[in-house]
């Protein structure tokens, strides 16, 4: 066992000092901070600059009404209109459209609105712009035109002033989530982003550490270094030491990521990590790592070069990527039957359970059941990986088939 600890120490120190570890450890926190900060900045600032518009309106009535409400609601810091209007001089609608189109093509205006001939009843408006990406400006224009149309309808039907004032008000909305008998105030953006960030941390730490483990085994096998190592220690000590050493590397990265995530969230008044959450996260992260490490160690011992292993690696990579792809569905449907069943599929269990434990109350039997299943499946995979590693590590020039692997496992 002392040999396994020596291998673990060597693997940990050599990996933690590598450029790859330093780069990935720096880049991942930056990505996490960006994921937290960017949506907040977008929702706070929205980068709305406004632009000059024209309004194609044969009646001329709506141009004045929309323009007046635009100036009341949206202006620059110095009080100038955010959406100044460029006048159209044609009387008929087709002439105005041609004129507005020419102004848009020349860059004089940034967009124009076409008010339909039956706008009062149908409420039909067309928005034509040079830049399709100005979604916030388009949304502001949409709201103003909507409000103008609504106010005209209210005036037309002679609605009482008290009711009009009520219709113009906005309600106060607060969101809470229940956990057991307690209730805490929640934020929709925070509730959506936090579990996805957790899954990304787990994915990068577990998946990359397992990949490094496999590449290390393949490299040492192809360079015949493994023969020298096995002359001094057993295959079991070698595999155990490698898995533990790279597991510590992954745990180190996870700790750094969690600290950075917590600090970044605190900067915006968002609680990213709770004591209960960190406990569950580490539990499933450790079990997930050992499971994937066993799989990748077994695969690495079967191939002499990475090129030979590429097809198998591609198939294996799809499994942990699936929870990332469907994470938004799991966040919004954590208690659906499909998600509950998938949570008991060991390769997906760590990712799905971490999301579910963050966003909802998970029954104790589901937590206990998935943890027990993960432990049993991981122990089984570690045992099978040890048999495959011990048998295949010194096989050269021979492509191993699946029936052969099955015979090794049964014999072991």
Residue 368 within a domain: yes
- Name the maximum alpha-carbon separation found in the chain: 96
- Does one domain contain both 267 and 360? yes
Q: What is the CATH number of the domain that holds 99?
A: 3.40.190
- Does one domain contain both 202 and 305? yes
Q: Please, where are the H alpha helices in 124-231? A: 135-156, 161-167, 188-202, 208-222, 225-230
Residue 374 within a domain: yes
Residue 304 within a domain: yes
- Does one domain contain both 234 and 324? yes
pLDDT tens string 242-252? 888 878 887 88
Given this model, what pLDDT does residue 45 score?
Answer: 43
Residue 302 within a domain: yes
Residue 295 and residue 82: Cα distance in Å, rounded?
Answer: 59
Residue 98 within a domain: yes
Contacts of 69 (CB under 8 A, 6+ apart): 144, 147, 148, 151
Give the long-range contacts of residues 100-107, CB within 8 A, separation 24 or more: 100/54, 100/56, 100/128, 101/128, 103/54, 104/128, 104/129, 104/130
Last residue of a domain, one of 109, 137, 167: 167
pLDDT tens string 297-348? 888 778 777 777 777 777 777 777 887 788 888 888 888 899 999 999 998 9
Q: Is the pLDDT of residue 293 over 60?
A: yes
pLDDT tens string 108-164? 998 899 888 778 777 788 888 876 656 778 888 888 888 888 888 877 777 676 666
For the chain, how many structural domains are there in total?
2
- Sign for the CA dihedral angle at 396, 397, 399, 400 comes to negative
- Does one domain contain both 153 and 192? no
- Does one domain contain both 85 and 218? no
Three-state DSSP class for residue 125: strand
Last residue of a domain, one of 117, 138, 167: 167
Helices (H) and strands (E) in the chain, counts: 18, 5
pLDDT tens string 12-61? 777 777 777 777 666 666 665 666 556 555 554 445 667 889 999 878 78
What would the mean pLDDT of 195-206 be, rounded to a whole number? Answer: 79
Given this model, what pLDDT does residue 302 score?
Answer: 80
The single residue listed with the structure tokens 């066992």 is 1
Range of the domain at 344: 2-39+187-411
- Name the pLDDT band for 218 (thresholds 50, 70, 90): confident
- Does one domain contain both 228 and 322? yes
- Does one domain contain both 213 and 113? no
Q: Is the pLDDT of residue 105 over 80?
A: yes
Given this model, what pLDDT does residue 148 score?
Answer: 87
- Name the pLDDT band for 220 (thresholds 50, 70, 90): confident
**Percent of the residues in the chain that have a pLDDT greater than 70, as a whole number:** 78
- Does one domain contain both 302 and 402? yes
Last residue of a domain, one of 98, 133, 167: 167
Identify the DSSP state of 111: E
- Does one domain contain both 258 and 329? yes
Residue 198 burial by CB count (10 A; 0-12/13-18/19+): exposed, middle or buried? Answer: buried
- Does one domain contain both 351 and 250? yes
pLDDT tens string 150-195? 888 877 777 676 666 676 666 656 665 555 555 555 556 566 777 7
For residue 74, the Cα-to-chain-centroid distance in whole angstroms is 34
Token pair in block for residue 364: 């104790």
Residue 139 within a domain: yes
- Does one domain contain both 18 and 145? no
**Residue 197 and residue 33 in contact, taking contact as beta carbons nearer than 8 Å:** no
Residue 10 within a domain: yes
**Residue 112 and residue 54 in contact, taking contact as beta carbons nearer than 8 Å:** yes
- Does one domain contain both 209 and 79? no
Residue 279 within a domain: yes
Query: Alpha-carbon Rg of the chain, whole angstroms?
Result: 31
């Amino acid at each position: 066992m002392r040999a396994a600890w020596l291998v673990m120490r060597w693997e940990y120190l050599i990996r933690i000092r590598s450029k790859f570890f330093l780069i990935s450890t720096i880049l991942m926190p930056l990505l996490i901070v960006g994921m937290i900060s960017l949506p907040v900045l977008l929702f706070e600032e929205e980068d709305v600059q406004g632009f000059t518009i024209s309004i194609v309106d044969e009646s001329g009535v709506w141009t004045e009404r929309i323009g007046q409400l635009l100036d009341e609601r949206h202006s620059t810091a110095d009080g100038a209109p955010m959406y100044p209007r460029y006048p159209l001089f044609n009387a008929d609608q087709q002439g105005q459209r041609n004129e507005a189109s020419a102004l848009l093509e020349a860059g004089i205006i940034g967009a124009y609105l076409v008010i339909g001939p039956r706008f009062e009843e149908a409420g039909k408006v067309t928005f034509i712009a040079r830049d399709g990406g100005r979604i916030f400006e388009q949304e502001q224009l949409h709201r103003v035109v909507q409000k103008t149309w609504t106010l005209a309808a209210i005036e037309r039907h002679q609605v009482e002033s008290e009711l009009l004032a009520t219709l113009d008000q906005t309600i106060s909305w607060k969101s809470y989530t229940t956990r057991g008998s307690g209730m805490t105030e929640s934020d929709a953006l925070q509730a959506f982003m936090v579990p996805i960030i957790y899954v990304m941390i787990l994915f990068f730490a577990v998946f990359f550490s397992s990949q490094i483990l496999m590449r290390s085994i393949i490299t040492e096998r192809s360079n015949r270094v493994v023969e020298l190592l096995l002359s001094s220690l057993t295959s079991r000590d070698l595999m155990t030491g490698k898995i533990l050493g790279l597991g510590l590397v992954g745990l180190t990265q996870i700790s750094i990521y969690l600290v950075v995530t917590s600090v970044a969230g605190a900067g915006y008044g968002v609680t990213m990590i709770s004591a209960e959450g960190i406990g569950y996260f580490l539990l499933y992260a450790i079990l997930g790592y050992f499971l994937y490490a066993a799989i990748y160690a077994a695969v690495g011992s079967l191939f002499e070069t990475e090129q030979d292993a590429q097809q198998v690696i591609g198939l294996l990579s799809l499994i942990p990527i699936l929870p990332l792809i469907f994470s938004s569905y799991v966040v919004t449907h954590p208690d659906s039957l499909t998600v509950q069943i998938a949570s008991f599929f060991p390769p997906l269990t760590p990712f799905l359970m971490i999301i579910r434990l963050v966003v909802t109350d998970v029954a104790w039997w589901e937590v206990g059941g998935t943890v027990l299943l993960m432990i049993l499946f991981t122990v089984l995979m570690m045992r099978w990986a040890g048999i495959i590693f011990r048998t295949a590590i010194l096989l050269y020039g021979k492509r191993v088939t699946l029936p052969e692997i099955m015979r090794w496992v049964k014999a072991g």
